[in-house]
Amino acid sequence: MNTSPHDLAAAAASRLAAWIAEHAPEGIVVLTGAGISTASGIPDFRSPGTGLWETLDPMEAMSLASFSRDPEHFYRLAMETWLPPILAAKPNPAHFALAELEAAGYIRSVITQNIDGLHQAAGSRQVWEIHGNVRESECLRCGYRGKLDLPAWSAPPGASPAGPPALPASSRPDGASGPPALPPRCPRCQAPLKPAIVLFGEPMSPAFTRAWEAAREAAAMIVVGSSLQVAPAAYLPDLARHLVINNLEPTPADERAELLFPAPAAELWAAVPPLLGLSG
For the four alpha carbons of 208, 214, 216 and 219, in that order, the dihedral sign comes to negative
**Stretch (H or E) spanning 55:** helix 52-55
The torsion of the CA quartet 20, 21, 25, 30, rounded to 10 degrees, works out to: 20
By CB under 5 A, tell whether 189 contacts Zn ion.
yes
Quote the least distance from Cβ 185 to Zn ion, whole Å. Answer: 8
By CB under 5 A, tell whether 185 contacts Zn ion.
no
By CB under 5 A, tell whether 139 contacts Zn ion.
yes
Buried-state track 208-236, b at ≥16 Cβ within 10 A, e below 16: beebbebbeebebbbbbbbbbeeeebbeb
The answer to whether 119 is a known catalytic residue is no
The total number of residues written for the chain in this structure? 280
Quote the least distance from Cβ 32 to Zn ion, whole Å. Answer: 31
Q: Residue 67 phi/psi, 5° resolution?
A: -65, -45
DSSP annotation of 204 reads: P
What distance, in Å, lies between the first and last C-alpha atoms of the chain?
31
C-alpha angle 233-243-6 in degrees, rounded to nearest 5:
110
Q: Which stretch binds Zn ion (CB under 5 A): 106-114, 181-189, 230-238, 265-273?
A: 181-189
By CB under 5 A, tell whether 188 contacts Zn ion.
yes
By CB under 5 A, tell whether 148 contacts Zn ion.
no
Instruction: Tell me which of 16, 130, 186, 218 binds Zn ion, using CB under 5 A.
Output: 186
Q: Which stretch binds Zn ion (CB under 5 A): 67-75, 105-113, 140-148, 243-251?
A: 140-148
Q: Which stretch binds Zn ion (CB under 5 A): 74-82, 141-149, 160-168, 231-239?
A: 141-149
By CB under 5 A, tell whether 196 contacts Zn ion.
no
Comparison of 80 and 138: residue with beta carbon closer to Zn ion:
138
By CB under 5 A, tell whether 176 contacts Zn ion.
no
Quote the least distance from Cβ 85 to Zn ion, whole Å. Answer: 28
By CB under 5 A, tell whether 193 contacts Zn ion.
no
By CB under 5 A, tell whether 141 contacts Zn ion.
yes
Quote the least distance from Cβ 147 to Zn ion, whole Å. Answer: 15
Beta strand residue intervals within the chain, DSSP E: 28-32, 109-112, 127-129, 132-139, 145-147, 193-197, 220-224, 242-246, 259-260
Q: Which of 23, 95, 131, 242 is catalytic?
A: 131
Q: Determine the size of the site formed for Zn ion (CB under 5 A).
A: 8
C-alpha angle 216-218-224 in degrees, rounded to nearest 5:
95
Comparison of 121 and 140: residue with beta carbon closer to Zn ion:
140
Quote the least distance from Cβ 143 to Zn ion, whole Å. Answer: 7
Among candidates 145, 146, 99, 137, which has minimal Cα distance to 118? 99
Instruction: Tell me which of 10, 11, 21, 142 binds Zn ion, using CB under 5 A.
Output: 142
Q: Are 193 and 140 in contact (CB under 8 A)?
A: no
Residue ranges in contact with Zn ion by CB under 5 A: 139, 141-142, 144, 186, 188-189, 191
Could you list the active site residues? 131
